[in-house]
Structure 1
Amino acid sequence: MNKIQEFNELHFSEDLLFLGNAWDLFSALTLEKAGFKAIGTTSWGIANSLGYKDGELIDFDRHLGIIKTIAENVKIPVSADIEAGYSEDTETIIDNVLRTADVGVAGINIEDSLKKSNGLREISHHCNLLEKIRTALDQNGYKDFYINARTDTYFQRQNPLMETIERAKAYVESGASGIFVPGLKGDGEIKEITTNISAPLNILSLPGLTSCNKLKELGVGRFSFGNALSDNIFAYLDKKVGQLLRYKDTSLLYENEH
């Protein structure tokens, strides 16, 4: 079984797929060592680790290089977060997806948010993009490559439920393997979406939305924590560095030694 097949099967096992989010090789290896069955890269975490904000501000080649390093050095499947595809040109996005597949990942996250302007891609436009991505993947030897279609309705709409279901259904019909709805939180709305789409639903961890077991009961197929872990690590580093300079004493670096 190759990594793509393995990653697909993880979405349909008895257990919810708890995805560990990495931003560099060290974090990826740590997640693998801990026992996570798959890794998703976090574009936010990668951007922050390089001194940038999220939002396709890094050169794509540089971003892809980090994804490649992770994919080549862990044994578990990796899904790459490529935001909205790093372009507004369809052919360029397709090329970026194929280049991402070429570095050895088993899937991607691709979102419907616009980067150079506010709002979401029109449903028909995004469906056309997903269809072309799926066709290109199939034609280049990447059958069943996992396309996790992210919709940002819960970040950009006042009453997003019905549009989320509409987009989710259309995206699955256009070749998406799964649907990712960050910002979705209420149990009732989660249940409504899982019962109305024929593909695994990926939920993003939020304060108050943290239990894999509870989400499994609601029909969720995949759960990820996005940039929450990297944010914690970076905040811890910032705090420690500040303490070092404030106290001019390195004893705090040895507090946990016995």
Structure 2
Amino acid sequence: MNKIQEFNKLHSSKELLFLGNAHDLLSALTLEKAGFKAIGTTSWGIANSLGFADGELIDFDRHLGIIKTITANVKIPVSADIEAGYSEDIDGIIHNVLRTADVGVAGINIEDSMKKSNGLREITQHCKLLKELRVALDQHGFEDFYINARTDTYLQKEYPLMETLERAKAYVDSGASGVFVPGLKKDDEIKEIAMNVNAPLNVLSLPELTNCNKLEALGVKRFSFGNALSDKVIAYLEKNIDDLVKLMDTIHLYRN
């Protein structure tokens, strides 16, 4: 069984797939050692680790280099978060996805948010992308490559449920393997989407959304914590550096 097949199988298991999110090789190796069955990269965490904000502000080659390093050094499947594909046109996005598949990942997250303007990509346009993406992957030997179609309706819309259902169904019909809805947190809405979309539902950990058993019962198949680990690492570094500076100031005063 190759990594793509292994990753797909994890989404059809009775158990919810708890995906650990890595931002560099050390975090990936630590997650693997902790027992995670698969890893997803976090674009937010990768960008922060290089001193940038999220939003495709770093060079794609640099981003892909980190994904490649992680994939080459862990034994478990890796899914790559490549935001909206690092291009404004379909051909450019497909080229970047194929390059990502070439480094050995088992899947990607691809989102419908616009990067150089506000709002979401128009549904028919995004469906066209997904259809052409699936064909290109199949033609290049990446059959069943996992396309996790992220929709940012819950991050951008005031009343997102109905549009989320519309987009999720259309994305799956266009070739998406699963649907990722960050910001979704109400039990009844989670259950409605899980029941009405014929593909695994991925939700993002939030302070009030951490119970894997409950999410599994609601129909969620995949659960990830996004940039939470990288944020904690940064917070830990800042606190300890601040404490270290205070200690050094105290020693300096004592010596004087």
- Common fold by TM > 0.5: yes
Counterpart in 1 of 2:58? 58
Q: Distance in 2 between matches of 1:223 and 1:93?
A: 26
Aligned residue type for 2:69: T
For each residue in 1:160-196, what CA deviation from the matched residue of structure 2 results, as whole angstroms up to 9, or x when unmatched?
0000000000000000000000000000000010010
Counterpart in 2 of 1:67? 67
1:11 aligned counterpart, secondary structure: helix
Percent of pairs identical after alignment?
77
Report the CA distance between 1:250 and its aligned residue. 10
Counterpart in 2 of 1:164? 164
Which residues of structure 2 form unaligned runs of 5+? 252-256
Counterpart in 2 of 1:116? 116
Q: Distance in 2 between matches of 1:97 and 1:164?
A: 24
Counterpart in 1 of 2:135? 135
Change (3 A) 1:161 1:250: farther
Q: Distance in 2 between matches of 1:196 and 1:88?
A: 31
Report the CA distance between 1:249 and its aligned residue. 7.5
Counterpart in 1 of 2:187? 187
Q: Does 1:86 align with 2:98?
A: no
TM-score of the pair, normalised by structure 2: 0.97
Change (3 A) 1:92 1:239: same
Counterpart in 2 of 1:254? none
Q: Does 1:7 align with 2:34?
A: no
Counterpart in 1 of 2:47? 47
Aligned residue type for 2:25: L
Q: Distance in 2 between matches of 1:148 and 1:217?
A: 21
Q: Distance in 1 between matches of 2:118 and 2:250?
A: 47
Aligned length: 251
Q: Distance in 2 between matches of 1:210 and 1:112?
A: 25
Aligned residue type for 2:116: K
Q: Distance in 2 between matches of 1:22 and 1:228?
A: 10
Which residues of structure 1 form unaligned runs of 5+? 252-258
For each residue in 1:81-123, what CA deviation from the matched residue of structure 2 results, as whole angstroms up to 9, or x when unmatched?
0000001111010000000000000000000000000000000
1:21 aligned counterpart, secondary structure: strand
1:147 aligned counterpart, secondary structure: strand
Aligned residue type for 2:139: Q
For each residue in 1:102-147, what CA deviation from the matched residue of structure 2 results, as whole angstroms up to 9, or x when unmatched?
0000000000000000000000000000000000000000000000
Q: Distance in 1 between matches of 2:63 and 2:129?
A: 21
Q: Distance in 1 between matches of 2:220 and 2:209?
A: 12
RMSD: 1.1
Q: Which runs of 4+ in 1 moved over 2 A?
A: none
Aligned residue type for 1:158: E
TM-score of the pair, normalised by structure 1: 0.96
Report the CA distance between 1:246 and its aligned residue. 1.4
Q: Distance in 2 between matches of 1:34 and 1:209?
A: 21
1:125 aligned counterpart, secondary structure: helix
